[in-house]
């Protein structure tokens, strides 16, 4: 798994690494408001997003001095 985010803790100077565990993709379909937003997207010239990503990370603390 790839390491996406890194941060240094203030007091302990340990490196906190956040490792991607899962990328969950939620697809949107059969929404009652889709017709409304399709009309608005054409009127105001913007794109509709038909899915969402949920990133699940876990934190790995290692003492790196």
Q: What is the pLDDT along the chain (65 residues), one digit of tens a residue?
A: 445 555 444 445 556 688 899 999 988 777 777 788 889 889 999 888 778 889 999 887 765 54
d(CA 1, CA 63): 20
Angular region, 49: left φ>0, alpha ψ -120 to 50, beta rest = beta
Query: With the CA atoms of 12, 15, 16 and 18 taken in that order, what torsion angle do they form, in degrees rounded to the nearest 10?
Result: 180
d(CA 48, CA 34): 9
pTM recorded for the entire structure:
0.46
CA 57, distance to chain mean position in Å, is 10
């Amino acid at each position: 798994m790839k390491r996406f985010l890194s941060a240094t803790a203030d007091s302990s100077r340990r490196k906190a690494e956040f490792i991607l565990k899962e990328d969950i993709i939620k697809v949107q379909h059969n929404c009652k408001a889709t017709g409304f937003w399709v009309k608005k997207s054409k009127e105001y010239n913007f794109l509709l997003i038909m899915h969402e990503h949920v990133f699940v990370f876990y934190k790995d603390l290692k003492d790196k001095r």
